[in-house]
């Protein structure tokens, strides 16, 4: 009887050890598969063109809503055209992330389950990104939903909303939320005439915490149409004359 319990204990310990070893491997395989599917969803679009409305909500930054046209071509050509000056966050790093999901080093941080959505949160490591960069990816439809970056005294949160009824699964709104611990540094504002009053657009706020956001609503997608490379040879921003 004693030998039986000894053998049973050895068997149970071995089984537990095997389960603990297999589970992380399976989880890692699932994450790698999710990243591969998310990257594939992005790379199937050889080029994109769409229209957008940019809304800026930043204290002391008075900028009217602006219509913008966006152009993208694989792997990382990006450009936008607008009729007026507008403020747009740098978006190229999002393209870098989506194009290299399977190569970027990552670590599982959390699994998020709600009634309507299941996501995983990953911390990613890349020389081209801030040290503290986090992604949230939906597991059902393999879509990048959120990005969080912490750089010096600045916190950026990017929320990507999709039209769930659109089979193309392209963003319908991207919101850049940010928190600046030391306010907006002084800079030389552009000289822009505004049709509705003052010409001064900006008032910097130093040494005061600031929260703000920039929302971009996207519509009228043209997918995999003919976009020539010369359209992307100049700087990524341009104002229509």
Higher pLDDT, 181 or 35: 35
Q: pLDDT tens across 66-107, in order? A: 999 999 888 878 888 887 767 777 677 788 888 899 999 999
**By residue range, what is the domain housing residue 103?**
2-239
Residue with tokens 């003052």: 198
pLDDT at 2 over 60: no
Residue 115's pLDDT is 73
**Cβ 171 vs Cβ 144: under 8 Å:** no
pLDDT at 26 over 50: no
102 by DSSP, 3-state: which? Answer: coil
Report H helices in 1-155. Answer: 2-43, 92-99
List the CATH number of the domain containing 69. Answer: 2.50.20.10
**Cβ 91 vs Cβ 76: under 8 Å:** no
Residue 22's pLDDT is 42
Cis peptide before 75 (omega within 30 of 0): yes
Kindly report the pTM of this predicted structure. Answer: 0.77
Tell me how many domains the chain contains. 1
């Amino acid at each position: 009887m004693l030998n039986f319990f000894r053998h049973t204990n050895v068997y149970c310990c071995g089984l537990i050890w095997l389960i603990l070893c297999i589970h992380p491997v399976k989880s890692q395989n699932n994450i790698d598969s999710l990243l591969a599917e998310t990257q594939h969803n992005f790379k199937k679009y050889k080029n994109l063109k769409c229209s957008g409305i940019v809304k800026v909500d930043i204290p002391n930054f008075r900028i009217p809503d602006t219509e913008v046209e966006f152009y993208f071509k694989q792997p990382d050509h990006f450009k936008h055209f607008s009729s007026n000056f507008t403020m747009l966050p740098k978006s190229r790093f999002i393209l870098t992330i989506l194009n290299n999901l399977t190569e970027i080093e990552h670590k599982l941080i959390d699994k998020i389950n709600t009634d309507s959505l299941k996501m995983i949160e990953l911390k990613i490591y890349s020389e081209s990104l801030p040290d503290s960069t986090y992604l949230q990816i939906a597991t059902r439809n393999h879509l990048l939903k959120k990005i969080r970056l912490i750089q010096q005294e600045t916190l950026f949160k990017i929320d990507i909303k999709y039209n769930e009824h659109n089979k193309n699964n392209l963003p319908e709104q991207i919101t850049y939320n940010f928190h600046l611990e030391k306010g907006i540094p002084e800079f030389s504002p552009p000289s822009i005439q505004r049709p509705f009053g003052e010409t001064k657009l900006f008032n910097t706020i130093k040494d005061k915490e600031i929260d703000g956001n920039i929302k971009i609503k996207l519509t009228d997608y043209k997918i995999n149409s003919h976009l020539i490379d010369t359209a992307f040879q100049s700087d990524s921003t341009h104002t229509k004359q």
